């Protein structure tokens, strides 16, 4: 065996497991916290990771990350050479910092970011491969965030071709953004209109969180979290 062959074999052993990590493998990892696993039936993480189509080494922003349920899943998918920017506004430090810090002990690729939604990342950072906002977009409405500024900031922080995924609780047709605080819901058409106005191209939607039985007339936020009809949208920054 030549020295070059041995080197490539070692690199392959180190790198191949990252490439072979399927969404199902990631979700079924034995070291995931039981508290996270308890949310899986509602959140459908394997389907989400499949939809995101993450690759090792990617740099992703998890906007409104909270305690990092999605951040850890993304970190597992992008691997040691990737980065996950877990962004929260400063006001959420007391809800998020302890849990995120605990996750960082195992996943140092998670980087905590405390910045306002309308400027979620330092403009000096290298362009990102993608971003996700899971069950948070509706909150930016009643929190008074300048969503035009926010969406444009997300657009600017992505590389050309970078993706932006939005998941949220569906509001009733015609409700628009009127029930974001009362029912924690927003109409899908509002999100599409606002993202496209910022320059994003709509790519596709997914149905794995759809629930046709949801009348969309009850509070979508709670503990335990209730099942709701949720839209899953993927946008892309044009090349």
Taking Cα atoms as reference points, which of 99, 91, 89 lies closest to residue 120? 89
Q: Does domain 3-236 have CATH number 3.30.200.20?
A: no
State whether residue 170 is helix, strand or coil: strand
Q: Three-state SS for 222?
A: coil
Does residue 67 sit in helix, strand or coil?
A: coil
Confidence of residue 3 (pLDDT cuts 50, 70, 90): low
Give the pLDDT confidence of 29-60 residue by residue, as tens digits: 999 999 999 999 999 999 999 999 999 999 99
Show me where the domains of the chain are located: 3-236
pLDDT at 222 over 90: no
227: confidence class by pLDDT, cuts 50, 70, 90: confident
**What pLDDT, in 10s, does the model give residues 146-204?**
999 999 999 999 999 999 999 999 999 999 999 999 999 999 999 999 999 999 999 99
pLDDT of residue 226: 72
Q: Is the pLDDT of residue 2 over 90?
A: no
Helix (H, G, I), strand (E, B) or coil at 129: strand
């Amino acid at each position: 065996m030549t020295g070059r062959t041995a080197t490539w074999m070692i690199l392959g052993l180190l790198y191949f497991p990252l490439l072979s990590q399927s969404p199902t493998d990631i979700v079924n990892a034995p070291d995931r916290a039981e508290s996270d696993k308890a949310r899986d039936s509602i959140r459908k993480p394997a389907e989400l990771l499949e939809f995101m189509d993450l690759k090792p080494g990617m740099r992703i922003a998890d906007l409104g990350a909270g305690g990092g349920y999605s951040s850890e899943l993304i970190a597992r998918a992008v691997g040691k050479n990737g980065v996950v920017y877990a962004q929260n506004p400063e006001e959420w430090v007391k809800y998020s910092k302890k849990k995120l810090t605990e996750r960082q002990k195992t996943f140092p690729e998670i980087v905590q970011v405390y910045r306002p939604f309308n400027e979620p990342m330092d403009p000096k950072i290298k362009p990102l491969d993608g971003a996700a906002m899971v069950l948070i977009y509706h909150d930016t409405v009643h929190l008074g965030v300048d969503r035009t500024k926010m969406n444009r900031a997300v657009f600017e922080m992505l590389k050309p071709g970078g993706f932006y995924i939005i998941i949220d609780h569906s509001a009733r047709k015609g409700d628009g953004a009127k029930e974001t605080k009362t029912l924690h819901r927003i109409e899908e058409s509002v999100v599409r209109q606002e993202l496209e106005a910022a320059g994003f191209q709509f790519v596709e939607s997914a149905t794995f969180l759809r629930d046709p039985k949801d009348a969309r007339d009850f509070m979508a936020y709670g503990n335990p979290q209730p099942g709701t009809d949720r839209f899953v949208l993927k946008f892309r920054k044009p090349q």
